[in-house]
A and B are shown apart, each in its own frame.
Chain A
Amino acid sequence: MKFLAGENIPELLEKLSLLSEVWAPRELRGSGGTVMFERWRSGDPLDLEHFASLSAKDMVLPRTEKLFGFSYAFGGAAVGNPFGAPAESAGGIPATAGESIRITAAEPAGNVVLFGARACDAKALTVLDALFDQTDGKGYNDPQYRARRAGLTVITLACVTSDPACFCSSFENGTAEKAGSDLILYPVDGGFLAEAVTPKGETVIESGVNSRNKVGSARGPGDSDPETGEAASGLTLFEESALETPVLAVTAKVEGLEGLRQKLAAIFDDLEFWQAETEKCISCGYCTYACPTCHCFNIHDEMRGDREGVRLRSWDACMFHLYTQETSGHNPRPTLAHRYRNRINHKFSYYPENQGEILCTGCGRCIRGCPVGLDIRDVLRQAVECSASPGEGGDR
């Protein structure tokens, strides 16, 4: 494998930022220690130690994106203006016969390198692909998503440590998951071992051509390959290394997730169960916004004046009352319990059924950041337990 010295990371990012936007985690100033993926520019600090509060999903599904712009073009004077006033002052009148609507495409997304994602962040991208990047009719062929996804290179930082909120080991590969990553960096003494998973990842290694003479650069102890001194002389930031990859962290495992779909179906109508699980929830929506796989969005038009505007797509959350509010006033998910039930079912039942992937990668953000200390793992355990003892469950 290749070795990348920790001190060379800024130089690598600078090289990458010549051709792409680079996003990397850093602590935000004045935020009380909040770490987020932010646009990296030369000289910006990095925080590769703490876990980012929000996921990296806005690389492919931005908080807000312009889908297209539109404007009404006049076919003739005063057409569609029943009041006879000058067309400019006709308040909010939609295009009618004689008018046409001009659509302007959104600017194409550029290339992005995401540096410092974790395995759970990267895996989440493939989970989203199952919905947004499909041409076989099972999901959607979402052009904006696909363009962003195609232009995205993911450099993942392998987890050698974890915290009690992590639970990726509940899923197939845990911290060793490679799906979604283009290049994986394994922390070792003095730097990282780099493993290219995809051709994009190989491109990153190739782009690490070193312009400076690296002889005598500081190396970590234990890396005494006599070749490296020469190999590093002015060629590349990535040097050949015989180091072993480190032992990765093993995170918490939620048992009984197999067949959870049937178990959730068994307690679907047990509203008391869902009420009990959500009694402390304040439906703030943090869990959905921080989640790397939650992808609900809203589409809305923002007008500038009466005659032109943009159609935007923005994040939305199923934990909000308005999310399923119908025009008639009826709301099929009137209470928090209904909404949370949907959230859990969507993640562990509907999405696996429709898209073949569990809509969760065990990143633990919804647990770590919940203002009322709600732990999704407890809910899953209770669901398993409750459905396992139908007599008791039926009484709830």
Chain B
Amino acid sequence: MSDIVSIIQRVLGDVDLVLGWTATGAGGVAAPARFQTAAEAERAVFNATCVHNLAVHLPRLKDQTVGIVAKGCDSRSVAQLIQEREIDRDRVKVIGVRGLGGSIDVRKIWRFHGYGVPVDARTDSLFIDGKEVDRQEFLRQKCLGCRDMDPVIYDELFEASGSSITGIADAATVETALSETGLGTSLTAAEAMSAAGEDESRPLGELFAKMNSAERRLFWREQYSRCIRCYACREACPMCFCRDVCIMQTTDPHWTGAGVDAGEAEMMQLIRVNHLAGRCTGCGECERACPVGIPLMLLMNKQNQVIEELFGYRAGTDLEARPPLLTFDIKGDSRSEK
């Protein structure tokens, strides 16, 4: 078994640069970094605070050959980018991380223990300010229902030897929670939200699932009302690679208003969600980057679930698959009208 530094150094023999992490990010946790030489790669680390999906950089580095350290979930973004021919398989070397055991929600730690508290987030244990705590408690929500422990594609494998995630069995994830259509309850959006406030470990999706459509509307109005149109969700998304030609900012035609209110924000998010239909790999970077904490993954997970039901397709899990909504097939099998 190799450590991450020597794997990156080995891959640097084949590529211009490798995307990985150093331990020197703000707040004392891991931050993304690029390594171009073996000496630079000495600084590379891998721990459970390596939450970032580095695939977001790939469309911006098309003129170079790139190595990328990718967790199971991140590898799906790499695969989907290849499927969409946004990047070239031959120009990417994937260092897949296997058996991570989930990454840590550092913001949650900061919230309860103060920003910048010393965190030692190993793949099998978690220490906050020198004291060991229950790692499970601070796992990212999305990791609790992980179906992507093994990377989809890889050229090199890094064994993270992480602890197992006990949350998988009961699968208390938004994805499953959303499958219970809970029409007809008397739970109002406000009640659901305050319930969420009382018990933070309870997934928002579970509460959301109990709301009827009017309550959901109220819920989303409240969420969207705080959107500041900063587009961090878009910029953090590996699949939002349109950059300067994004529909959100075109003025001719003027698809979305540039004003900042709940209605415009709703329009913007629904367009974004739809543009990611069958493309979103569920990495959660949009939600993580949102400065005002809008639970965007509720939308994404719901849509991903519908796509899976309708087309049996999970984005970025099969290099050979044709993404269903990127295919115009006039005589396709999915069409009953020939």
Task: Please list the residues of chain A having a beta carbon within 8 angstroms of any beta carbon in chain B.
Answer: 27-34, 36, 50-51, 53-54, 63-64, 163-165, 279-280, 282-286, 288-290, 298, 300, 302-303, 312, 314-315, 317, 320-322, 325, 367-375
Residues of chain A with a CB closer than 8 A to B115's CB: 51, 163-165, 368
- Given A284-B232, A371-B285, A374-B26, verify A290-B260 contact (CB < 8 Å): no
Q: Are B32 and A31 in contact (CB under 8 A)?
A: no
30 contacts between A and B (CB under 8 A): A28-B292, A30-B222, A30-B223, A31-B292, A32-B200, A33-B293, A34-B293, A54-B228, A54-B292, A63-B229, A64-B258, A64-B259, A64-B260, A164-B27, A165-B27, A279-B32, A282-B289, A284-B230, A284-B236, A285-B230, A289-B232, A290-B291, A298-B258, A300-B258, A302-B258, A314-B259, A315-B228, A373-B29, A373-B30, A374-B26
Digitize B35-63: 1 where CB-to-A-CB distance is under 8 Å, 0 elsewhere. 00000000000000000100011000000
CA distance A289 to B260 in the complex (A): 13
Q: Are A31 and B285 in contact (CB under 8 A)?
A: no
B196 to A, closest residue via Cβ: A30
B295 at the interface (CB under 8 A from A): yes
Residues of chain A with a CB closer than 8 A to B204's CB: 30
CA distance A28 to B227 in the complex (A): 12
Q: Are B107 and A33 in contact (CB under 8 A)?
A: yes
Shortest C-beta distance, A252 to chain B (Å), equals 10
Residues of chain B with a CB closer than 8 A to A320's CB: 231
A54 to B, closest residue via Cβ: B291
CA distance A303 to B259 in the complex (A): 11
Residues of chain A with a CB closer than 8 A to B200's CB: 32
- Given A64-B261, A371-B285, A373-B30, verify A30-B197 contact (CB < 8 Å): yes
Q: Are B27 and A53 in contact (CB under 8 A)?
A: no
Q: Are A371 and B26 in contact (CB under 8 A)?
A: no
Which of B33, B190, B231, B251 interacts with A284 by CB under 8 Å? B231
Q: Are A372 and B222 in contact (CB under 8 A)?
A: no
- Given A63-B229, A163-B114, A315-B228, verify A371-B293 contact (CB < 8 Å): no
- Given A64-B261, A282-B236, A374-B26, verify A325-B244 contact (CB < 8 Å): yes
- Given A30-B204, A163-B115, A374-B26, verify A322-B260 contact (CB < 8 Å): no
Residues of chain A with a CB closer than 8 A to B244's CB: 321-322, 325
Shortest C-beta distance, B35 to chain A (Å), equals 10
Which of B56, B107, B116, B232 interacts with A286 by CB under 8 Å? B232
CA distance A284 to B230 in the complex (A): 7
B193 at the interface (CB under 8 A from A): yes
Q: Are B107 and A32 in contact (CB under 8 A)?
A: yes
Q: Are B32 and A284 in contact (CB under 8 A)?
A: no
B257 to A, closest residue via Cβ: A302
Shortest C-beta distance, A325 to chain B (Å), equals 7
Shortest C-beta distance, B36 to chain A (Å), equals 10
List 7 A-B pairs, minimum CB-CB distance, nearest first: A373-B25, A31-B293, A164-B116, A373-B31, A34-B293, A284-B232, A280-B32
B31, B111, B228 interface centre (most CB from chain A within 10 Å): B228
Digitize B105-136: 1 where CB-to-A-CB distance is under 8 Å, 0 elsewhere. 00110110011100000000000000000000
A36, A284, A320, A369 interface centre (most CB from chain B within 10 Å): A284
Residues of chain B with a CB closer than 8 A to A300's CB: 251, 258
Shortest C-beta distance, B154 to chain A (Å), equals 22
Residues of chain A with a CB closer than 8 A to B231's CB: 284-285, 320
Q: Are A163 and B260 in contact (CB under 8 A)?
A: no
Q: Are A32 and B25 in contact (CB under 8 A)?
A: no
Digitize B142-184: 1 where CB-to-A-CB distance is under 8 Å, 0 elsewhere. 0000000000000000000000000000000000000000000
CA distance A290 to B232 in the complex (A): 12
Which of A303, A312, A322, A368 interacts with B249 by CB under 8 Å? A322
